[in-house]
Amino acid sequence: MEQMRTLIIDDEPLARKGIRQLLEGDPEVQILGECVDGLESVEQIKALRPDVIFLDIQMPEMDGFAVLDALSAEELPIVVFVTAYDQHALRAFQVHALDYLLKPFDEERFHEALDRAKAQWRQKNGSQMTRRIIEMLDGNREERQAPGRIMVRNAGRITFVRVEEVDWIEAQGDYVCLHCQGKKHLVREKISDMENQLATDRFLRIHRSTIVSIPRIKEMQPLFHGEYAVVLHDGTRLTMSRSFRDRVFERLAGIH
């Protein structure tokens, strides 16, 4: 019998344990694993391609909305939100016919959400659900707060870099390098995903491989073929490509 491949995402151990216990024993469900934060969740969803995820919204550093933002439409699974959001936010989910579990929830409510996820999975309605998720994300994008810190994993340790410390960000394949006042930190994140997470009033993408902190910009000098040199206060010189030029000037013109 085909099983519905399921991933549990929550930063609270007791919440993950509770969902696992409710899913175990269901012959239609295969539990692929558990994720404790947003970054790990994105990696596991891309690698395992679950049919359904139970996704906590309120997680530190990278919340549930940011997790979904980091996925392409093809990678989005069916989502059951697990949340402690207020009723105003929950109404947004209801409008888009997205299911959610409001903490604390009981076994009956959980199985009601699970049955809905199963129905969507059996009918292969993933594309319809994907469209609704994208609509919901677009509707809530302005209300979400950008993270105040960036999580850095290094040799088994986790440290946090405040966004105010970041001078500029450089793409390095599937990683980005944070340049922070003479220090460098490597983060497993594509630059496009990092751009989506950062506050748009503080950071600006000037090249396909470069994001810069706007307060760090000292001046811009014209180069050849429509490119510009972006000079930071510490003397760092970065290149703004022609393809980003109009967008950059439009953004900077609106900043006073």
pLDDT per residue rounded down to tens, the chain (256 residues): 789 999 999 999 999 999 999 999 899 999 999 999 888 999 999 999 999 999 988 887 678 888 888 888 788 888 888 887 655 455 556 545 457 788 888 999 999 999 989 988 888 655 566 666 666 666 655 555 556 788 887 766 778 888 999 999 999 988 999 999 889 999 888 888 888 778 778 899 999 999 999 999 999 999 988 899 999 999 999 999 998 988 888 888 766 5
DSSP 8-state code for residue 97: T
Bridge pairing between strands 175-180 and 168-172: antiparallel
Between CA 222 and CA 233, with CA 227 as vertex, the angle to 5 degrees is 60
Domain 4-143 fold:
Rossmann fold (3.40.50)
CA dihedral over 62, 39, 17, 75, signed as positive or negative: positive
Could you tell me where in the chain the CATH 2.40.50.1020 domains are found? 155-253
The CATH number of the domain covering residues in 155-253:
2.40.50.1020
What are 180's strand-pairing partners?
183
pLDDT confidence of residue 147: 63
- Distances from the Cα of 38 to the Cα of 27, 65, 151, 209, angstroms: 28, 9, 10, 23
Residue 219, both tokens: 């001046």
Could you tell me where in the chain the CATH 3.40.50.2300 domains are found? 4-143
